[in-house]
Amino acid sequence: MRGSLCHLGHSLARRLETRAPPPATTTLLRGLASEPSPPLKKTALHDFHVENGGKMVPFAGWSMPIQYKDSIMDSTLNCRSNGSLFDVSHMCGLSLRGSSAIPFLESLVVADVAGLKSGTGTLTVFTNDKGGAIDDSVVTKVADDHVYLVVNAGCRDKDLAHIGAHMEAFKKKGGAVDWHIHDERSLLALQGPLAGAVLQTLTKEDLSKFYFGEFKMLDVNGVHCFLTRTGYTGEDGFEISVPSEHTVDLAKAILEKSEGKVRLTGLGARDSLRLEAGLCLYGNDMEQHISPVEAGLSWAIGKRRRAEGGFLGADVILKQLAEGPSIRRVGLFSSGPPPRSHSEIVDASGNHIGEVTSGGFSPCLKKNIAMGYVKSGLHKPGTEVKIVIRGKSNEGVVTKMPFVPTKYYKPS
């Protein structure tokens, strides 16, 4: 999910959500277009969304549903109590293959990809030569010569250009790596406590032994799919890469097997859910000038990578790991109107100490939540701050994240 907020996004969010304080959706509307642009791309589920009451909006060059007939508030709560089915086919899946696929990827990301067990994955960050984040991605080691990853829709063009340029140089030096962009496939995200039980009815694979972060190629609803137990909500769930011609049938099967409990859910609730889970949204909470260390993603930098470096910007990032960053991403509770991206954070004396990057009203907690960056030393939970909204200071306090406990399916 990519792009920057605009006034159109704010007004649309207000029109779509009227029964409660606006949930954390305005950050989600980063891809909304405010100027004439090329025709919007459509996913394989576009007509299905419209038939089911999807309110379609332009997002990162695609026509995507922001919500359906229920409110964003209700959709968020239903995902936490039952389940949601999201169309995330605007995101870009790709495979790297070859004996040098892993060394090549490790020159661009901070993860210890080589150290992953085959069939497992992790969150990682593509970095630039200054240590900033080009994009975040979930990367899976399918085998020693095959890596599968998904990059964000709004970063697709720059990511593919970045990867492609470095691949060309790598291959000229004798590296054995090629890639395939999976434009022939669509991507569904099934999330929530019913996700495992519902999907189990559509596959012979025993999903009770398939844990968070694992990846398999298997048949789902009679079709060969890539299945990853992961998601962007903090709930248990799966991302299912399916041949595009079978996407509608799979979506219908999932909804039918759930007996109406799993609902089609749009990008509005997806944004509320990820914010409650304390997950970054690139373009808001991560940018080209923010490092993984500053973003609170030091855990994603593998131990071997900390020792060896070998990725772009390693000198900057390793120095931050050793000495500490000057700013840090934090969670915030606040009073008054819900904080929004770029709301100023000040101390008790009114001194500037940081800025909100994402914020809104939490449907689950029934209170304002936000994340942002503050100066190191002021990042500890319990630190009292003020958040300036439309010229007025509102009480706030730094808190731990996630705001809502995560429920990833892991071995007991």
Residues flagged as binding site for substrate: 239
Number of H helices, E strands in the chain: 10, 20
The strand pairing partners of 86, in sequence order, are: 189
What gap in Å lies between CA 209 and CA 411, rounded to an integer? 8
| Single-letter amino acid code for the residue at 391 | G
* DSSP code for 408: -
DSSP H helical segments within 279-404, as ranges?
Answer: 303-308, 314-323
The total number of residues shown for the chain amounts to 412
**CB-based contact 343:387 (threshold 8 Å):** yes
Q: Please state, in angstroms and rounded to a whole number, the distance separating the CA atoms of residues 68 and 55.
A: 6
Bridge partners of residue 32, in order along the sequence: none
Q: Which of 378, 374, 379 is nearest to 400 (CA)?
A: 379
Instruction: Report yes or no: 326 and 365 within 8 Å, Cβ to Cβ.
Output: no
Nearest C-alpha neighbor of 271 from the set 11, 22, 94, 58: 22
Q: How far apart are CA 313 and CA 260, in angstroms?
A: 48
Nearest CA among 116, 132, 114, 135 for reference residue 124: 135
Binding residues: 239
What is the C-alpha to C-alpha distance for residues 72 and 127, in angstroms, rounded to an integer?
34
